[in-house]
Chain A
Amino acid sequence: MAGMLLAFKDYSPFRGFTESPWVGLKYFKLIFEDTEVIQVIWNTLQISFLQIIFAFPISIVLALMLNEIRHQIYKKLLQSIVYLPHFLSWVVVVGITVIFLRSEGLVNSFLVNFLNINPIPFLTDPAMFKPIVIFQVIWKESGWGTILFLAALSGISPQLYEAAVIDGASRLRQMWHITLPALKSTIVILLILRLGNVMDSGFEQIFLMLNPFNMESGNVLDTYVYFKGIQQANFSFATAVGLFKGVIGLILVVLANRLAKRFGEEGLY
């Protein structure tokens, strides 16, 4: 933790931590003068919110779908399969992506041979970066994301459904009036946690997906800190960016928690 004092100092590796002079808020001012940082923050927020909009609801839908399966062994089997990608490393997932999407890969040879269209440079086109990253997250994590929802679903008393059936409710009505309200508090808590992390967007994944061609649309705060701090040895500036990111994240968690409490949910703390 003490390391974050670096942000207020002019750190140089030769002078060491204690000997480097204090410079106050110099590096924080630099953050807001740097147009690259603005672009990087914008990329980070875009990727995070696209994830919340697309990847988050998919877990809920998947959990609802799995919950409708009556055959228990089949359900277990499906669960095992959709959880599996969560345990793969990002190197493997990005590796698979590269193998499928590169110019001579499966997808492009399909496009060329069957649809007779030109190959798409998925891996180097800046416009493709965000959709691919979101798709990877959906593929890898949406199955795993169902666990907490499924747990909440199994806690619903069957009597509620029986009563609804007697009242003549269809399965969709049951889902709307019984199942979704039962998931509400789980959804709220997970959303708060996710909001607290909007400034993170999966470092290893993005780092592995980046190349010189898609840098402008793919560089996020974490990777920026790495390139600035470690590769260019600009330690103090990179720490200031990291610290800035941490403070925003903390503020967001506190705000989201307040909001949840206002809506009558328990919140995180």
Chain B
Amino acid sequence: MFKLTGRERVMDIMNNVLLLIISLTMLFPFFYIFSVSFSSVSDVLNSEFLLWPKDWVTDAYSYILGSDQFIRSLWVTIYITVVGTFVNLVFTSTMAYGLTRNIIGQRVILFLVLFTVLFSAGMIPTYIIVKETGLLNSLWALIIPVAISPFNLIIMTQFFKGIPEELTEAALIDGATDIQIFSKIILPLSKPALAAFGLFYAVGHWNSYFSGVLYLNDPAKWPIQVILRQIVIVNEPNAALGGHAAMLEALPPPETVQMAAILLATLPILIVYPFLQKHFAKGVMLGSVKG
């Protein structure tokens, strides 16, 4: 360890303090939202500044969780996330494996994939294709158009190419077919990579908002992010929650409902986040190996 001079020690302390402030700015909204969501009516009405709830009130949460619309949209999102991620992994990994084999036209296919990264004609052609294939207003419209992310595909191809060729050659000599090589050698060796890709895809599905608006007309099929927008940004919590308010004597204040809704919709992300941590640096590093 080098000795620090006086001036450098001051710089070091300033650096630490500054970073602490930055990370507090990242966390502050969560603390605030958390504490307001548990606050009582009077505290919110007095608009006191709260960093910790005075008395813990869970009205907002029971109100939201009592809404059929909210629960239904949660299920829709869970369905899309689970099925969508499975579809993502199956299609991305099989295509990536195909691209590592020396097949005819491999370079052409790779070029086409790269081309879609750099160039796209935009939303309308995609919309028309979804419409003409009859996917409109079906949950598959949120899954199939994003089945393969070209970026992830390229990274996964690079990863598969990094697996020693001796393994696949040995299997070929033993008479294994491509499908056997893929399922018995390649996949087990890439479990950590698949987990990383899966988590990224899953977060993407959970957070996706716009495709729900674009492709789904039926409110019963709306994913959670669409409902969340109605509650918070459009500022109509009661309408968005399906108006079961009439059954209650007193509504919890809209502020607390909005903040509770944000927390509930973010909770799954916050729960998987520690697991993501382990994987994401790895996932990004895979991408930095240039091909």
Binding site for B on A (CB under 8 A): 1-4, 6-7, 11, 16-17, 62, 65-66, 68-69, 78, 80-85, 87-92, 94-96, 98-100, 102, 104, 106, 109, 139, 143, 147-148, 151, 165, 170-171, 196, 203-204, 207-208, 222, 225-226, 229-230, 235, 238-239, 241-243, 245-247, 249-250, 253, 266, 269
Contacts and interface: CB of A to CB of B under 8 A. Distances in A.
A195 to B, nearest CB: 12
Contacts of B123: 222, 225-226, 229-230, 238, 242
A7 B207 CA distance: 31
Given A91-B229, A230-B214, A139 B25 contact: yes
B132 A17 contact: yes
Contacts of A66: 19
A117 to B, nearest CB: 17
Given A229-B124, A238-B122, 16 more contacts: A62-B22, A78-B23, A88-B207, A89-B207, A92-B262, A95-B233, A165-B2, A171-B11, A204-B210, A208-B233, A239-B121, A239-B124, A242-B122, A245-B122, A246-B119, A246-B120
A2 to B, nearest CB: 8
Contacts of A98: 232-233, 235
13 contacts: A1-B121, A6-B124, A11-B128, A69-B16, A80-B277, A91-B265, A106-B32, A151-B284, A151-B285, A203-B210, A229-B127, A238-B124, A246-B120
B259 to A, nearest CB: 7
A7 B47 CA distance: 53
A65 B15 CA distance: 6
B8 A148 contact: no
B228 A95 contact: yes
Contacts of B23: 78, 81-82
A49 B269 CA distance: 31
A165 B233 CA distance: 54
Interface string B23-47: 1011101001100000000000001
Given A91-B225, A226-B123, A65 B8 contact: no
B18 A65 contact: yes
Interface residues of B, number: 63
B201 to A, nearest CB: 13
Of B8, B25, B125, which is in contact with the most chain A CB atoms at under 10 Å from its CB? B125
B284 A95 contact: no
Interface majority SS (helix, strand, loop, mixed), chain A: helix
B266 interface: yes
B266 A250 contact: no
A13 to B, nearest CB: 8
Contact of B33 (A78, A99, A238): A99
B129 interface: yes
A4 B214 contact: no
B269 to A, nearest CB: 5
Nearest to A93: B29
A241 B124 CA distance: 10
Of B2, B121, B285, which is in contact with the most chain A CB atoms at under 10 Å from its CB? B121
B54 to A, nearest CB: 17
Contacts of A17: 128, 132
Given A65-B15, A68-B12, A84-B26, A99 B258 contact: yes
Given A96-B262, A99-B258, A3 B124 contact: yes
Nearest to A4: B121
Contacts of B104: none
B33 A96 contact: yes
Contacts of A143: 26
B52 interface: no
Contacts of B119: 246-247, 249-250
Contacts of B62: none
Contact of B124 (A68, A207, A242): A242
Contacts of B12: 68
B193 interface: no
B233 A230 contact: no
B203 to A, nearest CB: 6
Given A204-B210, A207-B210, A148 B284 contact: yes
B122 A243 contact: yes
Contact of A99 (B49, B229, B232, B288): B232
A69 B122 CA distance: 43
Q: Across chains A and B, which 5 residue pairs bring their CB atoms closest together, nearest first? A: A3-B125, A242-B122, A89-B207, A4-B121, A95-B232
Interface string B256-291: 001100100110010001001100110011001010
Contacts of B214: 226, 230
B33 A147 contact: no
Contacts of B262: 92, 95-96, 99
